[in-house]
Amino acid sequence: MDGLWIALILALDAAMLGLVWFCDRLLHRN
Amino acid sequence: MTPEFFALLAALLAVVVGAARPLGRFFGWIMDGRPAWGPLARLEDGLLRLCGVRRVEMSWRAYAVALIVFSLLGTLLLYALQRLQGWLPLNPQQFGAVSPDSSFNTAISFVTNTDWQGYAGESSMSNLTQMMGLAVQNFLSAASGIAVAFALIRGFARHSAHDIGNFWVDLYRITAYALLPLSLLLAVALVSQGVIQNFAADMPVTTLQATSYTTPKLDAAGQAVRQTVTVAQQTLPMGPVASQEAIKQLGTNGGGFFNANSAHPYENPNALSDFLEMVAVLLIPAALVYTFGLAVGDTRQGWVLLAAMMLVFAVAVTGLAAAEQQGNPAIAALGVNQAHGVLQSGGNMEGKETRFGIAASALFDAVTTTTSCGAVNAMIDSFTPLGGLVPMALMQLGEVVFGGVGSGLAGMLVFALVAVFVGGLMIGRTPEYVGKKVEAFDMKMVSIAVLLMPALVLLGTALAVVVPAGLAGPANPGAHGFSEIFYAFTSAANNNGSAFAGLSANTPFYNGWLGVAMLLGRFGVMVPTLALAGSLAAKKRIPAGGGTLPTHGPLFISLLIGVLLLVGALNFFPAWGLGPIVEQLQLWT
């Protein structure tokens, strides 16, 4: 079970890093 | 409402406003990175060098990545600490490992400054977990929030710049120079009032009178029966409470050492400790508003934001106190006297401590929900429906009325941009705020920051009210049960952490989904806020012209409050109708 919850933590933080990339793309397109 | 309530409200706001200027200047000093007193400066340099930190400015991307990676490591560490506490020292109660889903929820909860607690601290967390895990994150999550506010302030204050500060330096300076000393002072003050601070094992005591109660159980045939239990001993939980209580309040964390939080006499023994705890919650959010004004070279800009915050807060808390003082008609029908008098607070006293009464309970709970603290000294589940709506609505405004340390100011500045944008649309000019043009990219970031939270709250609530695992949580049926679920997702997505208390949330469903809401509600708002900071810092400063909307007077206060309330009402009014409003109508008809 630990693996599942740790994977979820990693996935959520990876999504936040993805949001950084997305916002940066928007800024450069601006 | 009573004279005690107005006196307490006036005293609280007077102390907070009085402290905002000197403390705001102090935070300005921390933000500017000016050298500290000799030995402290050497310690700062030494520790940062030891951690491999170079004092170079960061772009908004680097700042955001540092924030996320630092928080990720903190989450994993706190998860591990809970799972391994049974094998680790400082565990006099010999608690075993916390369950995986609860560890997930709690780790995210404390790293995101939410401090939602699905568990009872005194019966599940070792002293080591409380101190090395939860209390440490109380400091670091608060410092992270303030760091993001610093970055956004720099975005407004700088011009033609590419960088918004150094996350690691900000984190260190905020923790070392503000949070630690202020917490030490408050902890000592709380100990003087009777808050406990020790490492003793729980203490069994024989009660003056044996207590009997009935409890359900299954008999040998598997049938549900009731048994009578008589108890003549009580266990008094011990632990390092005052040190955690101080940062719990100052850092707008809110996670109590005990399950009963600030209603527990070992966390909050008397009226003075209660007042100190309320002041501590509002102190830093109010001071940072002054820091903003100072940094942009016009302190009126800061005072305007503080005035808007205080107006919304004062009206909301007055409504809350009025609803609670009015009492419960169902109890009045039983012939119970609910009138305020010399011998009693009157009103709806269910779930409230007699040592605080209506005034201090209403004020405390408004203070901790208008900020993202979430501590409670009364059970919000027992408030009248309209009384319960007030803390819920304060959170649903986005935790920007004072708000969390740092995150509250950042959120209010985001709403200020919405206000100038709306103002700009009205007069047909490009909106400006403190000398910065607000353009398309900025409004895209503002939109993400403003709309993500309602999406998380409403989608999470919608999911929980249709799946069996979600419906198993509420203790009450109907509108009140809906409010319990709605409040939980509101609290999680806004990183508040207070609970309606009637929800059984320590289940894989709630631990999982509330954990997701907390993490996305924190960093999903912080990332666009930092992007906004980067965009603003790169802009040139333009002088105010004839068509510039003045943002330092009563007109802007009105516009800002109007925008804030309008966005909140548009997002949540239908859901209020399903929960607290219909419950209020049921109660009074």
Q: What is the DSSP string of B62-112?
A: HHHHHHHHHHHHHHHHHHHHHHHGGGSSS-TT---PPPHHHHHHHHHHHHT
Asked if B500 has any chain A CB less than 8 Å from its own CB, the reply is no
Supply the pLDDT for residue B544: 84
Cα distance between residue B241 and residue B248, in whole Å: 10
Hey, are the CB atoms on B107 and A20 less than 8 Å from each other? no
* Closest residue in chain A to residue B519, using alpha carbons only: A12
CA neighbor of B417 nearest in space, from B148, B154, B152:
B152
Which of helix, strand or coil describes residue B227? strand
Asked if the model's pLDDT at residue B200 lies above 90, the reply is no
Residue B589, min C-alpha distance to chain A (Å): 46
Taking a contact as any Cβ pair under 8 Å apart, which residues of chain B between 512 and 531 contact chain A?
512, 515-516, 519-520, 523-524, 527-528, 531
pLDDT of residue B515: 97
Which of B550, B534, B552, B558 has its CA nearest to residue B159?
B534
CB contact under 8 A, B75 and A20: no
The reply to whether residue A19 touches residue B441, judged by beta carbons under 8 angstroms, is no
């069996």: which residue's tokens? B468
- CB nearest A9 (choices: B104, B440, B520): B104
- The per-residue pLDDT for range B280-309, each reduced to its tens digit, is 999 999 999 999 999 999 999 999 999 999
pLDDT in tens, B419-450: 999 998 888 888 999 999 999 999 999 999 99
Q: Which chain B residue shows the shortest CA-CA distance from A14?
A: B68
The tens digit of pLDDT for each residue in B449-459 reads 999 999 999 99
Strand pairing report for B432-433 and B224-236: unpaired
Q: How far apart are CA B359 and CA B2, in angstroms?
A: 8
pLDDT at B573 over 90: yes
- Do the interacting molecules here have an ipTM over 0.85? yes
Query: Which tens digits make up the pLDDT trace of B139-181?
Result: 999 999 999 999 999 999 999 999 999 999 999 999 999 999 9
Q: Quick check: B519 and A27 CB within 8 A?
A: no
- How high is the pLDDT of residue B24? 97
Residue A15 CA to residue A23 CA, distance in Å, equals: 12
Q: Which is it for the CA torsion B127, B498, B357, B479, positive or negative?
A: negative
Contact A3/B at CB under 8 A = no
Confidence label for B27 from pLDDT (cuts 50, 70 and 90): very high
**Cβ within 8 Å, pair B519-A16:** yes
Q: What is the pTM of this model?
A: 0.93
Chain A residues within 8 A of B61 when measuring between CB atoms: 20, 24
The pLDDT mean for chain B works out to: 94
Using an 8 Å CB-CB cutoff, list chain B residues near A2: 83, 100
Segments in B112-135 forming alpha helices (H): 127-128
Q: Percent of chain B beyond pLDDT 70?
A: 100
Q: Do A13 and B524 touch (CB under 8 A)?
A: no
pLDDT for residue B545:
82
In this predicted structure, the answer to whether residue B118 has a pLDDT above a threshold of 90 is: no
B 47-106 → A contacts, CB under 8 A: 61, 64-65, 68-69, 71-72, 75-76, 79, 83, 100-101, 103-104
Quick: pLDDT tens for B458-504.
999 999 999 999 999 998 889 999 999 999 999 999 999 998 878 89
Q: Does residue B121 have a pLDDT over 80?
A: no
Please report which confidence band the pLDDT of residue B35 belongs to, taking 50, 70 and 90 as the band edges. Answer: confident
pLDDT digits (tens, 9 = 90+) for B229-285: 999 999 898 989 999 999 999 999 998 888 899 999 999 999 999 999 999 999 999
Chain B CB contacts of A14 under 8 Å are none
Q: Does B112 touch chain A (CB under 8 A)?
A: no
